[in-house]
Homo-oligomer: A and B are copies of this chain.
């Protein structure tokens, strides 16, 4: 059966009637290509010729808004600038306008608690690898429903598995839209029945998760995170290190970036996964081995508590939407 040529009106009819179960999660999208915000999920589209689509030529950030306050937005936007400049990509709006667009998008979504993703792209103009055929960089901001993990993940802990996929090499320190390696790590962890993957670098040291960082607490109380050599500098792990300073002399004896082997992790008192949408999670099993006593530990509990207070009460790291 030959493929039909669909008229403009036919496409419009199709988009009007289009429905998918996941559409209910999509609250609002700002698109510079549209010049405004759409709330119809079927219209949350981008041009196929945007180099973001066919080359992954763009950068992004994901951040959490809770009760109309965005957590760590300044840091996310600072990292966005770093990523964009690494690619020679101009973000099409200045910081003030960017903030306004983010706020407007969240407001349009009508939900004070949501997950926001911002994409700055090379833009449309053609289908080659040449970025100079893109004359207009684009900005897309989408607010989606925030679906927190089931509470049992925090209460009982999660399972981590070493990825057979080698640690990222190309653009590992940039939050670009070349995330295929991260995707395959996530896929592998899911296929193995684990909650999160972690990669290992060429020297045998733990690197990073698909979209999370990891850390351990040694039996003598040191909170260690992998060195930021060839891994993305996570906003959440960076904040975790800052928050952990208040635990020094009590739950922990020191904080450091370190080369961490799998064997060290197996011997750890605690192991943590950290990321934007989860803050911090306790790893109770790593590659099938019990970590610590197999239950969420005290450093995890204190950090989670610190994050909860930080994201609700610390105006220094909150950006009000209203």
Contacts and interface: CB of A to CB of B under 8 A. Distances in A.
Contacts of A47: 44-45
A183 B140 contact: no
A178 B48 contact: no
A294 interface: no
Interface size class of A (residues with CB under 8 A): 35 or more
Q: Is the interface of A mostly helix, strand, loop or mixed?
A: mixed
Contact of A177 (B43, B53, B100): B53
Interface in A38-80: 38-40, 43-49, 51-57, 60, 62
A12 B14 contact: no
Nearest to A15: B8
A2 B56 contact: no
B46 A131 contact: no
> Taking the full assembly, how many copies of this chain does it contain?
2
A16 B8 CA distance: 8
B5 A108 contact: yes
Given A22-B124, A125-B22, A142-B48, A37 B180 contact: no
A26 B48 CA distance: 11
Interface string A1-36: 011111010111011100010100110111000111
Contacts of A180: 55-57, 87, 170-171, 176-178
Given A36-B6, A181-B170, A186-B129, A20 B124 contact: yes
A145 B237 CA distance: 48
A179 interface: yes
23 contacts: A2-B104, A3-B100, A3-B108, A4-B35, A8-B16, A8-B38, A10-B36, A44-B47, A51-B183, A53-B119, A54-B179, A56-B178, A56-B180, A57-B179, A57-B180, A117-B127, A128-B186, A128-B211, A132-B187, A170-B170, A171-B181, A178-B178, A178-B181
Given A115-B127, A127-B144, 12 more contacts: A2-B100, A3-B30, A3-B37, A4-B35, A5-B36, A5-B38, A22-B126, A44-B47, A87-B183, A131-B187, A170-B170, A178-B178
